[in-house]
Each structure stands twice: as C-alpha cells, then as structure tokens.
C-alpha cells in the first residue's frame, strides 16, 4: 500500500471479505449506522487487487492485497469476514511481523485461542470490557447457533436457572460463502429445467419426475459442482462450511450418496450440558470433540460451568 499522509492514525480499519455473504450484510449495516464516518476504511481483496474500492473508501480508492503483510500492518484494526482459510494464512504472520492492532474475525479459526474473546455484547459485554481493559486484541465471532441460543437464554444461565440445554442445527450451505450459494442455486436451476415439461403437465407421474431429478443430479457437469465438489441440489446435505474441515471424513468429503437416501447429517451443539444423555453421548462418538469445543466456546464467552467428560 502506498503511503498516504491523509490516513488518520488510530482509526484506520482494514476490511477483508467485505463482498461475501457475511461481509455484504456487515457493510450495509455499517453504512446504515454511520460507522464509515468514524473510521478511515481501507478495502482489501484476495482476488481483485488494484480494482476500484467501494464508495465508502476515502483516501485509498484502490483495493489492496489482502495477503500483503506490510499493507495490513498499517491498519489499527482489521475486520475480516473472509473465512477460516484466510485467517490461518495471514493472522500468525501478521502478529509475527510486529502488528499489535485489533483483529476482529467472523471465522472460527481463532475461536478457542486462549487470547481470544468471543464477542456477543448483549450477553457478555462485561467479559469484552474486562479483556479490553487488560489489553485484549483478538475479537472473534461465535458459532451462530450458540450465539442465537445465548441471546435468548443468556440471562437464565447467569442466574443459574439452566441445568442443561441441547440444540440441533444443520449447517447452511451459505456458510461456504457467496460462490457456494451461487453454485447451489445453479444446480437447482439445472434440475428444474430438466423436469419443467413434466411439472407443467398436471397428469405427469411424480415417480417419473423423481427419476429424472435423480438422473440430472447425478449427471451434473464438473463446473456445476466446482465449489462443493458434489451435487447438493435436492437430496444432499452437508456440514462443515464456515470454517476449515477439522477431521478427515467430514464436510463436503462426506458425500451422502454413501448413506441411505433419507439419512441426514446432524450437527448437535450440546452447550452447557452438565450430564449428557446416552443419545447425545452416542452423537459425541459420531462427531468427537465437537460438543466439548462448544462448551469451551461458552466458557470463553463468560459462562463458567462443568465441562463434559
């Protein structure tokens, strides 16, 4: 990044991943609340370096290289919604280069780091304030299911009125980002076109529609499955997007045609369970470590209690 004397030290905020699913919502929210009036925004890109920055830019009209450590070091704050792979590739290098700014991250990569604070200010503002007073620099977004749950029942936890709680969720395809959403919708469109003539005929046999859908799905071209690596439209389910694949055999590698057709992957988030049931213990064996990690997330947010065995 070229030196720019107009940049105001102390409020230079680097924005990475601002065009994606999460980033786009964040930009709209920041604009609506007038946040750009309070900062000097610098927009970074992983794929369009040198392109025109959005209208919110002030003194730096070009997109900067999101992998340029020297450029990133000029920022007082870096706010990223680029995903876990980016965080893994950049964060440690940036800290090792002597950067002492604030890192705000929507990805899960740093969620369990000992020097990170999981941010959900309506629930744990006291934890955030305490960490800031002690020089905290790493501010990480929590798991969406856990965060939504705690928004609803956080006060009950603090009052000691909740013994245990179990939540279940399917990971949305949107967790993979904008390109994954585009691909999924494209797959749906291809499948729809393949049976449109049958759908338009009210007398057509539903089993013939089903047969044609399956045949089309299995015949999708490589470019139609470039992001997911599998045809998800209609029958597929997946887990693991929104972060790195943690274990071999999970995520998109777990193509569901290996399993019974109506069998769905379950992502069970067993937060704050002091005595897991036998059924949930069985789920733990299917997804080892996942529930314990979410207990750690709950504790990182300021809710102390017994961990699972």
Q: How far apart are the first and last CA of the chain?
A: 50
Look at residue 160 and tell me whether its pLDDT is greater than 90: no
Could you read off the pLDDT of 124-144 as tens digits, one per residue?
A: 898 999 999 999 999 999 887
**Single pTM value for the model:** 0.66
CA distance 291 to 280: 9
Sort 106 into a burial class: Cβ within 10 Å, 0-12 / 13-18 / 19+: buried
Quote the Cα angle for 117-119-123, to 5°: 120
Sort 181 into a burial class: Cβ within 10 Å, 0-12 / 13-18 / 19+: middle
Sorted by where each starts, the structural domains of the chain and their CATH numbers stand as 12-109 (3.40.50.720), 173-265 (3.30.360.10)
7-34 burial, b if ≥16 CB within 10 A, otherwise e? beeeebbbbbbbbbbbbeebbeebeeee
Mean pLDDT to the nearest integer, 219-233: 84
Highest-pLDDT range among 47-51, 155-159, 231-235, 255-259: 47-51
Tokens of 146: 């856990």
Cα separations in angstroms, 135 against 39, 45, 116, 117, 186: 21, 29, 11, 11, 47
Helix (H) or strand (E) holding 269: strand 267-269
């Amino acid at each position: 990044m070229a030196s720019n004397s107009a940049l105001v030290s102390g409020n230079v905020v680097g924005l990475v991943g601002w065009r994606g699913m999460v980033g786009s919502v964040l930009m709209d929210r920041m604009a609506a609340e007038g946040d750009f009036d309070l900062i000097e925004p610098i927009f970074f890109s992983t794929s369009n370096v040198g392109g025109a920055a959005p209208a919110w830019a002030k003194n730096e009209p070009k997109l900067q290289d999101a992998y340029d450590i020297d450029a990133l070091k000029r920022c007082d704050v870096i706010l990223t919604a680029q995903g876990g792979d980016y965080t893994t590739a950049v964060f440690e290098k940036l800290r090792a280069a002597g950067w002492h700014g604030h890192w705000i991250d929507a990805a899960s990569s740093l969620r369990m780091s000992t020097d990170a604070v999981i941010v959900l200010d309506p629930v744990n503002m006291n934890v955030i304030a305490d960490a800031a007073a002690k020089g905290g620099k790493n501010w990480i977004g929590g798991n969406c299911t856990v965060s939504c749950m705690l928004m609803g029942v956080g006060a009950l936890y603090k009052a000691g009125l909740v013994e245990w709680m179990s939540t279940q969720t399917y990971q949305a395809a949107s967790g993979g980002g904008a390109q994954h959403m585009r691909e999924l919708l494209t797959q749906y469109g291809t499948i729809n076109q393949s049976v449109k003539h049958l759908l338009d005929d009210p007398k057509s046999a539903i089993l013939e529609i089903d047969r044609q859908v399956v045949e089309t799905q299995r015949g999708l071209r490589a470019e139609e499955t470039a992001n997911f690596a599998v045809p998800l439209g209609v029958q597929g389910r997946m887990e693991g997007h929104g972060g790195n694949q943690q274990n071999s055999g999970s995520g998109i590698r777990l193509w569901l045609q290996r399993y019974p057709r109506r069998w769905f992957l379950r992502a069970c988030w067993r937060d704050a369970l002091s005595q897991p049931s036998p059924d949930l213990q069985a789920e733990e064996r299917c997804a080892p470590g996942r529930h314990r990690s979410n207990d750690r997330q709950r504790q990182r947010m300021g809710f102390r209690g017994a961990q699972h065995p």
